[in-house]
Structure 1
Amino acid sequence: MATLNGLTEGDKIRVFSAGREIDGQGVFLRFQGNFLVWVDNHANINVTSLDTISISKIC
């Protein structure tokens, strides 16, 4: 399994925009270009621009 920026597919993450959590926690899938691809707690696949977010890995 590949690791990128300290994240590995399947890692639990929190995604923030303007300091506020977006849709709670989720699972990291991959980076695709300038986008984060992740699954939220409602099993929705999200593609979110890295220009407007920060990501926190949940240990």
Structure 2
Amino acid sequence: MATLNGLTEGDKIRVFSAGREIDGRGVFIRFQGNFLIWVDSHANINVTSLDTINIRKVS
């Protein structure tokens, strides 16, 4: 299992854009190129550009 920037597949995360939370909490899957791949609380797979977001690991 790979770790990148302190995130490991399966970690719970919160994703923010412009300081506002988007799609609530989710689960980190991986980084691919300049994109975050994650699953939101509705079990949707999301591919989100890292250019416009901040990610916070939920402890």
TM range (shorter): over 0.9
Asked if residue 15 in structure 1 is aligned to residue 15 in structure 2, the reply is yes
Q: What is the rounded CA distance, in whole Å, between the counterparts of 1:23 and 1:50 in structure 2?
A: 15
- Whichever structure has more helix as a proportion of its residues is 2
Q: What is the rounded CA distance, in whole Å, between the counterparts of 1:49 and 1:57 in structure 2?
A: 17
Name the TM-score, length of structure 2 as normaliser.
Answer: 0.99
Consecutive unaligned residues in structure 2, runs of 5 or more: none
Name the TM-score, length of structure 1 as normaliser.
Answer: 0.99
Amino acid of the structure 1 residue aligned with 2:42: H
Q: What is the rounded CA distance, in whole Å, between the counterparts of 1:31 and 1:24 in structure 2?
A: 19
State the identity as a percent.
86
Figure out how many residues of one structure are paired with residues of the other and give that number.
Answer: 59
**What do you get for the CA RMSD once the two structures are aligned?**
0.3
Consecutive unaligned residues in structure 1, runs of 5 or more: none
Q: What is the rounded CA distance, in whole Å, between the counterparts of 2:23 and 2:35 in structure 1?
A: 17
**Structure 1 residue 57: deviation in Å?**
0.1
Q: What is the rounded CA distance, in whole Å, between the counterparts of 2:36 and 2:21 in structure 1?
A: 15
Q: Which residue of 2 is the match for residue 41 of structure 1? A: 41
